[in-house]
Structure 1
Amino acid sequence: MGGLDRAAAILGAFDATHRELTLAALVARCGMPRSTTHRTADRMIKLGWLDKPKDRYRIGNRLFEISSLAPVKHELREAVLPFLQDLHHATKATVQLGVLDGTDILVVERITGHRQMPMLSQAGGIIPAFCSALGRAILAHADPETVEAVLSAELPRRTPRTLTSPVAIKRELASIPTRGWAVDREEGVIGVSCVGAPVFGPLGRVVAAVSATGPNDRIRAERIGPAVRLTAAAASRAYSTRR
């Protein structure tokens, strides 16, 4: 395993629920020997890739600076952010922008108000595509190969309401283009619903999705769906113009 592979293994040990790790936890999660992990992590600290303020490692500021230069973070976020802000202002819900990353959704941007919802993924975090409104909004307009890749992977039941049958999920995906938005009704978190709509690029290819998320009593699809759909349509036009 080369130096870059070792660094990648260490970076892969971190996720939304493991933001800070002791050396022992880092060793357990990256699967490398303790001495190799310690030596590689020390080098990564010198490069600014990791930080270790006390006895725990965390992602360094240099990686955050580099990640902000990625097209998905820069171009897409810049084009869509004003519309996300408008949607948040209009709905008072938590709003998110996500892109498909393998079988998951990478949350590129998230805006929330004073009512924090810690169970939701922060920007830079990932959520399953198959049971999220963001994921379904994208998959409903994706090519069959992409859909099959997601639905042939593991489909864990996150709550009693999570759809885990590929047939049922495909039926749900088929209804989205006509309706204009996707819905997640307590499939990720009990008591929380989400409505999402697709964002398209200049060639009409789906590139992302936006969503509004909140408690069930505040997120009613028939009421909030049109606003999410209009936001996604405006974001699509803005993003396509930039490209």
Structure 2
Amino acid sequence: MSTTETANPAAALDRAAAILDAFDAEHRELTLAALVARCGLPRSTTHRTADRMLRLGWLDKPGERYRIGERLFEISGLAPVRHELREAVLPFLQDLYGATKVAVQLGVLRGPEVLIVEKITGHRPMPMLSAVGGSIPTYCSGLGRAILAHSEPAVVDEVLAAGMPARTPRTLTSADVVRRELAVVAERGWAVDREEGNAGVSCVAAPIFGPLREIVAALSITGPSAAIRPEMAGPAVRMAAAAASRAYSVRR
């Protein structure tokens, strides 16, 4: 580490964070030139910082491309959202997948988006779905609406104020309309995304609560619209989420 980095560790961490932020689901491996372009740091700074991150195991570089290192994967498994929530809910995700044979997902709210914590797809490929660790819009997803329907008004306001661009012709882009939908979700106990995020794909989701009845996550089933019948699937998804809530609350 250089004298400048030693004197200003916060700046060094900011540079490391900028490099990590350059990676996402569409950019899993980056050349040095691509890393420089995406992180916004000078080339020499990027190269020096990335070299240090390689030695720490935060990055890996088996060839000419950088990628996230296994040490970060090991550390991420200690995060409560992965260790406590996922471990408590996973058996119910597996049961739900076994009963429906469509993709099952677990998500938590992260800013204006939903972070995908776990996903089970089986043998049916669904490339349009975000990978674990990826994120999806909150306003037009079943997972997002199941969470927002039980969130504080300020949280809902923040999510809707972040923008609601149309992803398909069926996307609800009016804040008032989304709020009315959230009221229905809160009363019914489960949320529906009818081809709003991806054409031809529908989703049914239900909320997961903590020991104080605070909203912590949501689980969902997602698949081709022809295979998803919300009126039939909704109660089953709600029951799975309720069982997952009890299991998570006991762990807490």
Give CA deviations for 1:86-106 in whole Å, capped at 9, x if unaligned. 000000010011000011111
The answer to whether the aligner puts 1:225 opposite 2:234 as a matched pair is yes
* Separation in structure 1 between the aligned mates of residue 126 and residue 46 of structure 2, nearest angstrom: 34
| 2:124 corresponds to | 115
The answer to whether the aligner puts 1:100 opposite 2:109 as a matched pair is yes
Residue identity matched to 1:224: A
* Separation in structure 2 between the aligned mates of residue 232 and residue 137 of structure 1, nearest angstrom: 11
Identical aligned residues as a percent: 72
* Separation in structure 2 between the aligned mates of residue 166 and residue 22 of structure 1, nearest angstrom: 41
Contact 1:108 / 1:124 at 8 angstroms: preserved in 2?
Answer: yes
TM-score normalised by the chain length of structure 2 = 0.94
Aligned ranges 1:50-69 → 2 under 5 Å: 50-69=59-78
The answer to whether the aligner puts 1:143 opposite 2:145 as a matched pair is no
Deviates more, 1:92-101 or 1:11-20: 11-20
Residue identity matched to 2:90: L
Q: Once superposed, what is the RMSD of the aligned Cα atoms?
A: 0.9
Per-residue deviation, 1:51: 0.9
Per-residue deviation, 1:16: 1.4
| 2:82 corresponds to | 73
* Separation in structure 2 between the aligned mates of residue 18 and residue 157 of structure 1, nearest angstrom: 24
Give CA deviations for 1:136-161 in whole Å, capped at 9, x if unaligned. 00000000000001001122221121
Per-residue deviation, 1:28: 1.2
Per-residue deviation, 1:201: 0.2
Match of 1:126 among 135, 148, 165: 135
Give CA deviations for 1:4-47 in whole Å, capped at 9, x if unaligned. 00000011111112111121211111111111111111111111
TM-score normalised by the chain length of structure 1 = 0.98
For structure 1, list consecutive stretches of 5 or more residues without a partner in the other structure: none
Match of 1:196 among 189, 201, 205: 205
Residue identity matched to 1:104: E
| 1:89 corresponds to | 98
3-state SS of 1:239 partner: helix
Q: When the two structures are aligned, how many residues end up with a matched partner?
A: 243
3-state SS of 1:217 partner: helix
Give CA deviations for 1:127-186 in whole Å, capped at 9, x if unaligned. 111111001000000000000010011222211211111111111111002211111111
Per-residue deviation, 1:71: 0.6
Give CA deviations for 1:190-222 in whole Å, capped at 9, x if unaligned. 111011100000000000000000001101111
Residue identity matched to 2:152: D
**Which of 1 and 2 has greater Rg?**
2
Give CA deviations for 1:40-85 in whole Å, capped at 9, x if unaligned. 1111111110111122111110000000000111000011000000
* Separation in structure 2 between the aligned mates of residue 161 and residue 22 of structure 1, nearest angstrom: 38
